[in-house]
Structure 1
Amino acid sequence: QPCLFSVDLAAARAVEGLGIRADLTAGFSLGEIAALAFSGALEDESAFRLVCKRAEFMQEAAERNPGAMGAALGIDAEKLSKVLARFENAQAVNFNCPGQIVFAAKESDIDEIAAAVQENGGKFRRLAVSGAFHSRFMEDASRKMLEYLKNVSVRPASVPVYANRTAEPYGETEQEMKSLIAEQICSAVQWQSTIERMIRDGASVFIETGEGKVLSGLIRKINKSVKVLHYSEVLANGGSL
């Protein structure tokens, strides 16, 4: 997590260094912390330490409450919800784009859920992860993060940061911001709703600042009319969009 955070933030700063000003920001999961640092809500060093603690708390929770994750493809949220309701502690955790939802569940239930997804016309892909992230399996980590944040300074963002949990911009009170940072760990990532809200709020060009181009692909599936670029393209073009 610390390495990914550092790459995300450095890439965003590199784009900014070309004179490109962000009007809105968002980050997927860990990327939300980078967005908060980029926006000035967190000091860089403070954000880095927070990310290290976040990784520690999540790993501890994963070892204490083992779980697994899988992607359900080509099945709508309502059908998947009915499938998951049959299993204790199974829940949708990443609403990535139309037809792509990630869920978390007990390891012992994954194969049966996969079969049920396929019976309902969807496809299943198991994710190679060490825990059931953004789910109730991570509640211990969320509580520890909220306690840790008591000694962390958080201030209103200079650029709106859209929260994974709510798909709405972060508020301005310190307590509200800290609650969102902590709750994000055990809450679903509402990525599709976040991008749709940002577009309604005026976003027409998205620049992905981080390793890989997964989010660029998701945004194109959410809305084909917006322009989506990877930061490496922007740097190669000298800041031309």
Structure 2
Amino acid sequence: MSKIAFVYPGQGVQTVGMAQDFYENSVLSKEVFDKADQVLDFDIKKICFQENQEINDTEYTQAALVTTYLAITKEVENRGIKPDVTAGLSLGEYAAIAVSGGFSYEDAIKTVRQRGILMNRAVPKGEGTMAAILGMTAEQIDNIVNKMENVSVANYNCPGQIVITGKKDAVEKAMESLKEAGARRTVELNVSGPFHSQFLKEAGKKLGEQLEKVQFTPLTIPYVTNVTAQYVEDVNKTKELLIKQVYSPVRWEESVRNMIEKGVDTFIEIGPGKTIAGFLRKIDRNVKCINISQYEDLKKLNQN
């Protein structure tokens, strides 16, 4: 039987004007933004809707994106579409858990605000970085990176696209070694730190203190965790998984394959851009992906 997954991208997809049309056309979406404004210490609508530099600053980006994802989800669900499972890439996992019932939308938004601050301050700016490695297998990259210090794999996104993370000089050295070993291309990412690496363990510990303030509630549907790529049905595991997620690799390809194996054949990507759709094409072309980033995209739901 056909199953639907709601999936949420990670940082990097943010764009000025995201979800503004939802805010203007949907009472439910507007409520999410208005509640976010009440729990945040900055003007969420200004960050999302008006030209500004802060939208690309992790401290603000994370809360802005999760608010956007949840605002769009409200209107998708209002159209009668309900997921059988949810998943999110890194930051997107917070939206996935909220939609699965694990905690409130407000707690999701408040927590990622603190997560953004902690991650941004974990390593002094300029000391850490990340890079996408194109055209090599995970095994080939692991074999090289595992022998090097201060660098590791951050994201197993899809066949042919893997992200490494670590100290800046170590990542640059790894990029050279991987290029020599046959990588088609290596691209340093525009990020402010070595996310999903051992250097964020302290940030993970501090995030755990923030998560103590969150009221976790029983899941109504499962979500898939980045840490193990497995279905989570017991919310009591969530806190520890979110702590580990900050400094562990994101097993996205494995997560998607696991959902497909359990009957998911339609993925609804919620949020700006088509990053996940691109990954899905490389993982399994037989599954359908519907991207909902603009209000007019809701028409796609009626066609399927």
Give the TM-score, by structure 2 length: 0.75
Equivalent residue for 1:132? Answer: 194
- Which amino acid is the alignment partner of residue 130 of structure 2? M
CA distance in 2, matches of 1:171, 1:158: 8
Equivalent residue for 1:235? Answer: 298
Question: How far apart are 1:137 and its partner, in Å?
Answer: 1.3
Question: How far apart are 1:234 and its partner, in Å?
Answer: 4.7
Give the TM-score, by structure 1 length: 0.94
- Which amino acid is the alignment partner of residue 158 of structure 1? T
CA distance in 1, matches of 2:135, 2:194: 21
CA distance in 1, matches of 2:176, 2:126: 24
**Is 2:164–2:171's contact at 8 Å kept on the other side of the alignment?**
no
Equivalent residue for 2:103? Answer: 42
Pick the aligned partner of 1:178 from 239, 260, 267: 239
Equivalent residue for 1:11? Answer: 72
Question: How far apart are 1:93 and its partner, in Å?
Answer: 0.9
Equivalent residue for 1:89? Answer: 150
Q: Could you say if the C-alpha distance between residues 89 and 5 of structure 1 is closer, same or farther in structure 2, counting changes exceeding 3 Å?
A: same
SS class of match (1:86): coil
Pick the aligned partner of 1:107 from 144, 151, 168: 168
**Is 1:146–1:178's contact at 8 Å kept on the other side of the alignment?**
yes
Worse overlay, 128-137 or 101-110: 101-110
Pick the aligned partner of 1:195 from 250, 253, 256: 256
SS class of match (2:212): helix
CA distance in 2, matches of 1:237, 1:110: 41
Output one character per residue of 1:152-179: Cα deviation in whole Å (capped at 9) or x when no partner: 11122212110011111224152x2110
Question: How far apart are 1:60 and its partner, in Å?
Answer: 1.5
Question: How far apart are 1:105 and its partner, in Å?
Answer: 2.1
Equivalent residue for 1:143? Answer: 205
**Is 2:151–2:171's contact at 8 Å kept on the other side of the alignment?**
no
CA distance in 1, matches of 2:260, 2:150: 33
Q: Does 1:213 align with 2:213?
A: no
- Which amino acid is the alignment partner of residue 240 of structure 1? Q
CA distance in 2, matches of 1:169, 1:238: 25
Q: Could you say if the C-alpha distance between residues 103 and 39 of structure 1 is closer, same or farther in structure 2, counting changes exceeding 3 Å?
A: same
Equivalent residue for 1:169? Answer: 231
Output one character per residue of 1:160-214: Cα deviation in whole Å (capped at 9) or x when no partner: 110011111224152x211011111111100000000000111000010011111
Output one character per residue of 1:47-101: Cα deviation in whole Å (capped at 9) or x when no partner: 1110111111111113289311001111112221122133212111100000111
**Is 1:65–1:137's contact at 8 Å kept on the other side of the alignment?**
no
CA distance in 2, matches of 1:40, 1:107: 38
**Is 1:57–1:145's contact at 8 Å kept on the other side of the alignment?**
yes
CA distance in 2, matches of 1:86, 1:206: 36
Runs of 4+ aligned structure 1 residues displaced above 3 Å come to none
- Which amino acid is the alignment partner of residue 169 of structure 1? Y
Q: Could you say if the C-alpha distance between residues 118 and 65 of structure 1 is closer, same or farther in structure 2, counting changes exceeding 3 Å?
A: closer
**Is 1:66–1:137's contact at 8 Å kept on the other side of the alignment?**
no
Question: How far apart are 1:21 and its partner, in Å?
Answer: 1.1
Equivalent residue for 1:31? Answer: 92
CA distance in 2, matches of 1:57, 1:114: 27
Q: Could you say if the C-alpha distance between residues 143 and 76 of structure 1 is closer, same or farther in structure 2, counting changes exceeding 3 Å?
A: same
**Is 1:19–1:239's contact at 8 Å kept on the other side of the alignment?**
no
CA distance in 2, matches of 1:238, 1:217: 19
- Which amino acid is the alignment partner of residue 109 of structure 2? F
**Is 1:15–1:234's contact at 8 Å kept on the other side of the alignment?**
no
CA distance in 1, matches of 2:111, 2:212: 12
Question: How far apart are 1:221 and its partner, in Å?
Answer: 0.9
CA distance in 1, matches of 2:192, 2:94: 20
